[in-house]
Chain A
Amino acid sequence: MNLTLLILLPLLTAVVILLMRSSVQVKWSALIGASAQFILALILFFTFRKERALGNASQMLFEIQYKWFPSWHISFHLGVDGISVAMILLTAFVVIAGVLVSWNVEKMTKEFYLLLILLSLGAYGFFISLDLFILFFFLEIAVIPKYLLIGIWGSGKKEYAANKLALMLMGGSALVLVGLLGLYFGGNENTFDLLLLSKMKIPIMVQKICFPLLFVGFGVFTALFPFHTWVPDGHSSAPTAGSMFLAGISMKLGGYGCLRVATYLMPEGAREYANIIIVLSTIAILYGAFATMMQKDLKYINAYSSVSHCGFVLLGIGMLTKTAIAGAVMQMVSHGLMTALFFAVIGMIYERTHTREVNEMGGLIKVMPFITTVLFIVGLCSLGLPGLSGFVAEMTVFMGSWQNPDPFHRVATIAACMSIVVTAVYILRAIGQTAMGPINDRYLSLQDAKWNEKLAAIILIAGIIAIGIAPFWLNDLVTPAAEVIMQKVAGK
């Protein structure tokens, strides 16, 4: 399996989209491109499993390395382990669903789809890079389209939101860049190569300075408290597919970076700051959940709940046990699928009722059984119902966290566990007010989902259920990679 395909395919799709004339052609070429990505991701997943089953135990599979900027020791180095494969699968699911739900975008269709595809390009590149320089390069590719997506196709305070999001994410990237340079010059050899750096002993001083830079920098992406404020505004102003990509993919770039770059390369730094991470993420989990409880706009509800759910990702990383880290990765995948579906369904409801205020809805089961069923499924996934992905991920984080026997970790774990109750409160409140209750007469003539919306929802639900009822495949994929990281952190 040649990993450059994952970059070339979106690039090709983007070029084809540029050449198309009518919006129908644009849509279909985007859909075909997204489906090709989807198939490619599945092929990657199965070949990866096969290689591992055959006994290929090397840390990264399908490695490719081209010289790129030899004088600065920058090379085009690609490779995947289980965690990257999981993230690539997630990206492929979200991209195809995002393309499908955007079928009604009439304003500048070509540019819209072009940006979506570029975003996926950035994400794939980010997840397969083994050289920190190109990793950063792809990270930036994934940021800029979002600014335009919100600024042009957004709603509400879109300029404000677009500025805020872009500035905060750029700020995060700036910290990341400084941290990366610190690693480059701080190590005993000047290199951006992830694998070389991981074998190197990076001086403690450098770790102490660079770890927070990188962790906070990536943390901004994944809604690290208190740098999460772009999340509610960004999501609520973004178009549906924009929100899906933002929450489903972009927020995961941060989590992946925190894990792969910050924690893996600087284990001493991670141990030094682990407690702070735990405190911040526990705050995010509970505080996000309580803040969600008071929201009235569906998008704000999902945005704040994302803050809470992404807290589990950072909590899992901060707990520094193999199980918790595996749980963090599973939570990234689970939350990515779930939140993309949630935004998709919110978009579907909004297109019909023209409101996102839960108070103004009610009884929608009657007119849109399909959409409300999806809402139920996604809501139940969010509150951690077994059989859906959220449960698996959260329980893995809890079990992993509980392996730390001291009171501090115990208290943090129990506090995080408490969120399962608060989550139930806000999810049932949202579902109860939108889907259940007496219906307003003006909604009686609304139509249920169309083919593209149904297909998008079914794809994402398939992912959620595949993890929910058979978590072992994801666990088998992620755990060995988590173990590699943990061995490094444990100092072996």
Chain B
Amino acid sequence: MNEFLQIKLLGIFSLGMNLGWALLMIPLLPLLGFLSLGLFGKKYLKQSAGIFATLLLAASAFLSLHIAYGYFFKYGKLEGAYQKIIPIQFTWLQFSPGLSIDLGILLDPISVMMLVVVTFISLMVHIYSLAYMKGEERYPTYYSFLGLFTFSMLGLVMASNIFQLYIFWELVGVSSFLLIGYYYDRPSAVAACKKAFIITRFADLGFLIGILILSFYGGTLDFNSLIEKLTSTNSTEFKTIASASFVGISALTWALVLVFIGGAGKSALFPLHVWLPDAMEGPTPVSALIHAATMVVAGVFLVARLFPVFSMSEVALKVVSIIGIISALFAAVIACTQTDIKRVLAYSTMSQIGFMMFSLGVSGQAGESGLGFTAAMFHLFTHALFKALLFLGAGSVIHFIHSNEMKDMGGLRKYLPITHITFLIACLAISGMPPFAGFFSKEEILLAAYHHNATIYWIALATSGLTSFYMFRLYFSIFWNKEYIAHGEVHGEGGFVMMMPLILLSLGAAAAGFIPFGHFVTADGNLLESAFHLQFSIAPVALGLLGIFTAMWMYKKQNNRPDTIAHSMNSFYKLAYHKFYLDELYLFVTKKILFNLIGKPAAWFDKNVVNGLVNATGNSTVFISEKMKGFQSGKVQQYAIYFLAGVIGLAVLFIYIWK
């Protein structure tokens, strides 16, 4: 059996046997949940499915914290810098010498941080869903899909090999597909899950080709050796990939941009974001987990993972930062006009991911210039907390009011006190108000942008003002504005089970900013002291306050100001409200071009031309034999005539030839 599963337990023993097992269990426990609930959930675990899955995930989250503590404080550092440790790795599929898919676990600051984020947020969602999804017909299925998703996401962040990352990347995609389509009998959910899968698949095509290029030049798929080979300027691998070019752009840049397209698809960046708002068709806790806190940051994680290679290509970094800033602004504008609260949150997610992306794009490789990297990871961390909180809060509101539309809401602060307070904390955090978590991370991002590129800085500043406007527009519309008129019995807030995650997350959203992130996560593993610059905080905070007060002026009390303003910029408002008609454009491309111009002709061609030729061959054979069979009539007189005709014919022929 041993040679069958050639597990090379490389460093498991150097870290201690228990630690190795703990590490393996982190992804395997959710997988166990998926398999057991998927296979036996319906029959044996109908009611206890949620508890079962939650306990498994609690264990997994506990182990992640254990690993994170050990890594950051005990064995992670070597001579002052955090190391990349690969405790477990085995060859899964060998393509050729040197090129193989190895499944393994890579521990470094970003993967350890992501372990904690993913398991913690997932645990919160598991707990919350115990109450939120109670009584659903497919309750065990729901939890089994959550387990699959958590497993895939954990495998993704732990990947030690770029192809391993791709494998889990695809698995994350399919779990997202399954969860968005959870309410499978709603046509809109079916359409949304297909859309999400196909658009991210399209982006994955770029990722795949990028991997092919990198593997060809790098001669390896292993992250560590790939990065090593492609970042030392005097290695032969780097020289060939940097000098090989296609239409004037180096192979390195091509590969990185293609990989980035994959990341942009998953992270819902412009122009591949169109699936994200529709993905809100899934159950709300799923939106919190997948479409806010974890899966959509996979693209950011991917760029961060390959960051040393990205930093070798200025063009690639430029693309990252430009797409990042466009997404940030574009989504913020749309978010100001949407009326479905989950869609507002979806666009805000896209905008915040844009922040992380351009922050990576403006970052340097080492030391002070690597601030952008640290800031992006920091923002990823804090964003996961407050965005999950916002979605779970929105879930609580939707649970109460049975609608996603702002117009059905208002005055809910009296009915949902805990939701109200936690939601407010989250809004303050995302708006970057001190001392909440978002303030610190956004400050760092802006600082990094300021030092690198003035244009990006100004756009980012404006966007951060817009952020606080649309977030408080949401807040006031839900909890203030008009009075809520209860119809029939009012059942109040969900119980303790639903409120506990909100409270825990709001504590995080309030306090996580004080974590000295530069001590843990930096581009080069060394310590980065981020100095606090008061003069830099003034502008964003002032703009944020302006956004909040504008929102208050417009939405705190019921009035006609919003309508008047919308009217005054009628055409632009319409454009933003219709999401700049991108969905229509995509629909046109797929329906008209892909289906009608390629698919239909191909099917027609096959049915009529290729198949027609085959039939024609058959028919002509029949036709010829049909005509031929008349010759063999068995009548001697007829044969005599043929004979005579032949003789005459030959005679004529001979005469003419001899003549």
Q: Are A and B bound to each other?
A: yes
Chain A positions within 8 Å of B, measured between CB atoms, are 53, 163-164, 167-168, 226, 228-230, 232, 287, 290-291, 293-295, 304, 322-323, 363, 365-366, 369, 380, 383-387, 391-392, 395-396, 398-400, 402-403, 405, 413-414, 417-418, 420-421, 424-425, 428-429, 432, 435-439, 470-473, 475, 479
Residues of B within 8 A of A479 (CB): 94
B198 and A425 within 8 A (CB):
yes
Q: How far is the CA of A475 from the CA of B163 in the complex (A)?
A: 17
Instruction: Give the docked Cα–Cα distance between A438 and B190 (Å).
Output: 10
Write out the residue numbers on chain B whose beta carbons fall within 8 Å of the beta carbon of A387: 167, 171
Contact across chains for B212 and A435 when beta carbons are under 8 A apart: no
Q: How many A-B residue pairs have CB under 8 A?
A: 137
CA distance A73 to B181 in the complex (A): 63
B185-A399 in contact (CB<8A): no
CA distance A287 to B193 in the complex (A): 25
Do B198 and A437 have beta carbons less than 8 Å apart?
no
Determine how close the nearest CB of chain A comes to the CB of B277; give it in whole angstroms: 19
Whether B95 contacts A380 by the Cβ 8 Å rule is no
Q: Which of B13-21, B394-402, B598-606 interfaces with chain A?
A: B598-606
Residues of B within 8 A of A429 (CB): 194
Asked whether, in the complex, the Cβ of B599 is within 8 Å of the Cβ of A436, the reply is no
Could you tell me how many residues of chain B have their Cβ less than 8 Å away from some Cβ of chain A?
Answer: 55
Q: B6 at interface (Cβ–Cβ under 8 A)?
A: yes
B81 within 8 A of A: no
Q: Does A437 lie within 8 Å of B184, measured CB to CB?
A: yes
Residues of A within 8 A of B191 (CB): 432
Measured between beta carbons, the chain A residues less than 8 angstroms from B181 are 436
6 nearest A-B pairs in the assembled complex, by CB-CB distance: A294-B603, A386-B167, A290-B602, A436-B184, A293-B599, A424-B201
A366–B96 Cα distance when bound, in Å, is 46
Any A CB within 8 A of the CB of B174 = yes
Chain B residue at minimum C-beta to C-beta distance from A428? B194
Question: Which residue on B lies nearest to A365, using beta carbons?
Answer: B184
B581 an interface residue at 8 Å Cβ cutoff?
no
Cα distance, A228 to B605, chains bound together (Å): 13
B residues 11-67 with Cβ under 8 Å of A? 42
Binary contact track B180-218/A, C-beta < 8 Å → 1, others 0? 010011110111011001100110110011001001100
For B167, B208, B209, B606, which residue has the most chain A Cβ atoms within 10 angstroms? Answer: B606
- Write out the residue numbers on chain A whose beta carbons fall within 8 Å of the beta carbon of B209: 414, 417
CB within 8 Å for A424 and B198 given contacts A229-B614, A392-B93, A437-B190:
yes
Q: Is B611 an interface residue (CB 8 A)?
A: yes
From A290, A369, A386, A399, give the contact of B171 (CB < 8 A): A386
From B167, B190, B202, give the contact of A436 (CB < 8 A).
B190
A413 and B194 within 8 A (CB):
no
Q: Report A487 CB to chain B, min CB distance, Å.
A: 14
Whether A402 lies near B212 (C-beta < 8 A) is: yes
Across the interface, do A385 and B174 meet the contact criterion of CB distance under 8 Å?
yes
Are A294 and B95 neighbours in the complex by a CB distance under 8 Å?
A: no
Q: How far is the CB of A157 from chain B (nearest CB, A)?
A: 12
| Chain B positions within 8 Å of A295 at CB level | 603
Q: How far is the CA of A383 from the CA of B189 in the complex (A)?
A: 20
The residues of B that contact A420 with a CB separation of less than 8 Å are 201, 204-205, 208
Give min CB distance, B142 to chain A, whole Å: 13
Check A291–B170 contact: CB distance below 8 A.
no
Q: Is the CB of B185 within 8 A of A421?
A: no
Interface pairs (10), CB distance under 8 Å: A164-B614, A229-B610, A287-B602, A385-B170, A385-B171, A398-B212, A399-B96, A417-B205, A429-B194, A472-B92
Residue numbers in B under 8 Å from A425 (CB-CB): 198, 594
Are A405 and B216 neighbours in the complex by a CB distance under 8 Å? yes
Q: Contact: A323 with B190, CB < 8 Å? A: no
Using known A-B contacts A399-B212, A438-B185, determine if residue A472 contacts B201 with beta carbons closer than 8 Å.
no
**Alpha-carbon separation in the docked complex, A385 to B197 (Å):** 12
CB distance from B104 to the nearest CB of A (A): 14
A400–B197 CA distance with the chains assembled, in angstroms = 27
Distance from A236 Cβ to chain B, minimum over Cβ atoms (Å): 12
Chain B residue at smallest Cβ distance from A168: B614
With known contacts A291-B603, A391-B170, A437-B185, A432–B614 Cβ distance under 8 A: no
Task: Give A297 Cβ to nearest chain B Cβ, in Å.
Answer: 12
CB 8 Å contact bits of B237-265 with A (1 = contact, 0 = none): 00000000000000000000000000000
Minimum Cβ distance to chain B for residue A84 (Å): 21
